[in-house]
């Protein structure tokens, strides 16, 4: 009778370990899917951002040149260039400050996977399991 009980307990433990392994494999697959989806979105956003930044930089350069030329009608050319450059650098500083504040508000990556792994870890650590 004890042999049957030992076999049942051994089989039960093997089933539990197998189930935990399947859960962990599923979590790894979920993490990989989440990462792939995020990387795809990030790649597309980066390409669009780079194209927009390039075209915007060209336009901004011509706009600043026009501003210098227009201001040069009122003050000396060197002073016009200095004023426009100073204003441009101030605007860049404000934008960088806003970007750093926005970046600090980002959420943690893969929230579903992290939550699921925390549940599994807590379940494994409870004495009755």
Q: pLDDT tens for residues 105-121? A: 777 777 787 788 888 77
- Long-range contacts (CB closer than 8 Å, 24 or more residues apart) made by 117-125: 117/27, 120/20, 120/23, 120/24, 120/27, 124/20
Residue 1 has pLDDT above 70, yes or no: no
pLDDT of residue 2: 57
Q: How many CB atoms lie within 10 A of CB 84?
A: 20
Of residues 59 and 21, more confidently modeled: 59
pLDDT of residue 128: 61
The predicted-structure confidence for 42-72, as pLDDT tens digits, reads as follows 899 999 999 999 999 999 999 999 999 999 9
pLDDT of residue 93: 95
**Which residue, 111, 126, 123, is CA-closest to 23?**
123
Of the listed ranges 3-7, 40-44, 72-76, 79-83, the one predicted with least confidence = 3-7
Residue 74 has pLDDT above 70, yes or no: yes
pLDDT of residue 9: 79
């Amino acid at each position: 009778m004890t042999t049957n009980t030992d076999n049942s307990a051994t089989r039960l433990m093997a089933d539990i370990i197998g189930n935990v392994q399947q859960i962990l494999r599923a979590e790894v697959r979920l993490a990989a899917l989440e990462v792939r989806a995020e990387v795809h979105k990030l790649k597309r956003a980066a390409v669009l951002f780079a194209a927009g930044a390039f075209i915007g930089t060209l336009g901004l350069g011509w706009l600043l040149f026009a501003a210098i030329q227009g201001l040069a009608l009122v003050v000396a050319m060197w002073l016009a260039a200095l004023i426009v450059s100073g204003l441009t650098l101030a605007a860049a500083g404000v934008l960088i400050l806003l970007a750093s504040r926005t970046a600090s508000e980002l959420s943690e990556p893969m929230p579903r996977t992290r939550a699921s792994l925390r549940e599994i870890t807590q379940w494994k650590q409870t004495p009755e399991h």
